[in-house]
Amino acid sequence: AAWWAVVGWLGLLLQVLLRVIRGAPSSLAKLLRSLGLRHPLLSAAPAVAFVQLPSKAPADDLPPLSPPPGRLTVVLDLDETLVCAYESSSLPATVRTQAVEAGLHCFDMEGISSDKDAKGRQRVNHVTVFERPGLHEFLQKTSEFADLILFTAGLEGYAKPLVDRIDAHNRFCRRLYRPSTVTTEYRDHVKDLSCLSKDFRRIVLVDNNPYSFLLQPLNGIPCLTFSAGQPMDDQVKWHC
């Protein structure tokens, strides 16, 4: 079942690449190289019909994007796509040591939890974050030809300080958190790209969770889940 799920999402990947490449082949080629993909895969992609699922609108009412002509919009997930995070108290010391020795960069941070303590105060979680190999080069190179948007199902109290650390150069032109996701009859916290753009020919979502693509599957680019146990991961390394 897992194998057929992978095959199915690879088929969806071919569809979104076919649709976007018609509008911006040179820019898309750069994005494909950064993900280790090649153009010849697109030649055999058949047309696929798509019926949108019902959903409940998110709490936020975001203004639509207005990217300059010729630019793509690349929407990026956070957890297990750009980084992986663990509660510091439950992270085995050996896992951290082995990951760092293998070359992974990590940092510790505090994030505000949605839970409250006995006195009604917001709990503060201590988190250890590992960056995916090639993360900063990927953000820098992709931002040269695409507008980058961070779209996470995580809560802002946790995600905002984390993104502040990995995006010191402010390459994300917009950040969306859990309130911007929608609920469908099949899944909660689905990412609806229509809140960002009505032109789906020039926007893609890179995410390790295939359920994030439920509303616009042809615009989803799946990536492998990243963890601290994968120091040799190359999903977002820039391929020349």
- Residues 161-188 have pLDDT tens digits of 999 999 999 999 999 999 999 998 888 9
Query: Looking at per-residue confidence, does 225 or 71 come out higher?
Result: 225
Look at residue 95 and tell me if it is in a domain: no
User: Average model confidence (pLDDT) for the chain?
Assistant: 80
* CATH assignment at residue 204: 3.40.50.1000
Look at residue 188 and tell me if it is in a domain: yes
Question: Known catalytic residue: 77?
Answer: yes
Look at residue 96 and tell me if it is in a domain: no
Catalytic entry in 77, 147, 192, 207 = 77
**pLDDT tens per residue, range 23-70:** 444 555 556 565 555 444 333 444 444 445 555 655 455 666 666 677
Catalytic entry in 60, 61, 79, 199 = 79
Look at residue 108 and tell me if it is in a domain: no
Residues 6 or more apart in contact with residue 155 via CB below 8 angstroms? 112, 114, 177, 178
Cβ atoms of 232 and 226 within 8 Å: the answer is: no
Query: Looking at per-residue confidence, does 84 or 14 come out higher?
Result: 84
Range from 60-64, 113-117, 233-237 that averages highest in pLDDT = 233-237
Among residues 192, 188, 173, 212, which one has the least CA distance to residue 80?
A: 212
| Domains contained in the chain, number | 1
Cβ atoms of 83 and 130 within 8 Å: the answer is: yes
Q: Which pLDDT value is given to residue 20?
A: 44
Range from 184-188, 196-200, 209-213 that averages highest in pLDDT = 209-213
Look at residue 9 and tell me if it is in a domain: yes
Band (pLDDT 50/70/90 cuts) for residue 125 is confident
Look at residue 238 and tell me if it is in a domain: no
Please give the structure tokens belonging to residue 78: 């956070």
pTM over 0.95: no
Given the DSSP bridges, would you call strands 220-222 and 203-207 parallel, antiparallel or unpaired?
A: parallel
Q: Tell me the CA distances in angstroms from 167 to 80, 130, 175, 205, one per residue in order.
A: 16, 14, 11, 18
Look at residue 68 and tell me if it is in a domain: yes
Q: Which pLDDT value is given to residue 28?
A: 55
What is the extent of the structural domain holding 142?
2-83+130-222
Among residues 237, 24, 17, which one has the least CA distance to residue 137?
A: 237
Band (pLDDT 50/70/90 cuts) for residue 123 is confident
Look at residue 116 and tell me if it is in a domain: no
